[in-house]
Amino acid sequence: MPESVKSDAKSRMEKTLQALRRELASLRAGRAAPSLLDKIEVEYYGTMTPLNQLSNISAPEPRLLVIQPWDKSAISAIEKALQKSELGITPTNDGDVIRISIPPLTEERRAELVRVVKKAGEEAKVSIRNIRRDANDEYKKMEKLGDLSEDEARRYQEEIQKLTDDFVKQIDEAVTSKEKDIMTV
């Protein structure tokens, strides 16, 4: 039972870290990456559909994304969704493919993106700490019920703390890496 609390906490922490990494990957760092368009959804036959399910997205050059829809009739809907997105990009449509030229980031935009990255990192850390608290509460409850001795409860809480420290370190590394990526010209 105490081990299941630990494994549950670990899997929840891993999911938090994965969510942060996905969020960071979708932030524009001045270089073209297909993951920039992961959050874009297109209205396709009345249904909101992720762009990457409607087309092939590639980055043939460092500052260029090419979107090749599998259904040519969706090209104008894709273009509209891109223009509405928060990415601040202007797509060009030649009838077969959509090209997106990624302009270099301004210093102001870089600073703004770094703030967004730090905020996402802090939110992930808060989530990790909440998971730690939930696990520790569970151990305290087991101790009260007599399922765990005081020493066992303390030992499990220390293990949860080590797990928490490890995930917080991984979050810091991911945030620092993305900051460097954004600030590199």
CB 159 within 8 A of CB 139: no
Shared domain check, 70 and 48: yes
What pLDDT sits at residue 185?
56
Evaluate if pTM is beyond 0.85.
no
Helix (H, G, I), strand (E, B) or coil at 99: strand
- Average pLDDT (13-30) is 84
Same domain, 80 and 146: no
Angle at 172 (CA atoms; ends 131, 126), nearest 5 degrees: 30
Model confidence at 49: pLDDT above 60? yes
Of residues 14 and 89, the one with the higher pLDDT is 14
Choice between 103 and 55, residue whose per-residue pLDDT is larger: 55
Amino acid in position 182: I
Q: Report the pLDDT value the prediction gives residue 29, as an integer from 0 to 100.
A: 65
pLDDT at residue 83, as a whole number: 82
Cα–Cα dist 108/113, whole Å = 9
Question: Across residues 40-48, what is the average pLDDT?
Answer: 86
Write the single-letter amino acid at 106: T
Q: Is the pLDDT of residue 30 over 70?
A: no
Give tens-digit pLDDT for 155-168.
999 999 999 999 99
- The CATH number assigned to the domain holding 86 equals 3.30.1360.40
User: What is the spatial distance between Cα 94 and Cα 157, in angstroms, rounded to a whole number?
Assistant: 60
The number of residues in the chain equals: 185
User: CB of 29 within 8 A of CB of 178?
Assistant: yes
Domain final residue pick, 101, 119, 150: 101
Domain boundary among 101, 121, 143: 101
Among 70, 134, 131, 132, smallest CA distance to 98 is for: 70
Degrees to nearest 5, angle at CA 171 with 22 and 157: 125
Claim to verify: residue 7 and residue 39 sit in the same structural domain: no
Give strand pairing partners of 47: 44
Residues 129 and 165 in one domain: yes
- pLDDT digit string (tens) for 98-155? 888 877 778 888 888 889 899 999 999 999 999 999 999 999 999 899 888 989 989 9
- Which of the listed residues 80, 101, 122 is the one where a domain comes to its end? 101
Q: How many domains does the chain have?
A: 2
Does residue 27 register a pLDDT over 90?
no
User: How high is the mean pLDDT of the chain?
Assistant: 87
Q: Reduced to 3 states, what is the DSSP secondary structure of residue 85?
A: coil
Residues spanned by the domain of 86: 34-101
Tell me what pLDDT residue 39 has. Answer: 80
| Between 184 and 152, the higher pLDDT residue | 152
Distance CA 46, CA 27 (A): 28
pLDDT for the residue 61: 83
Are 7 and 156 a contacting pair, CB within 8 Å?
no
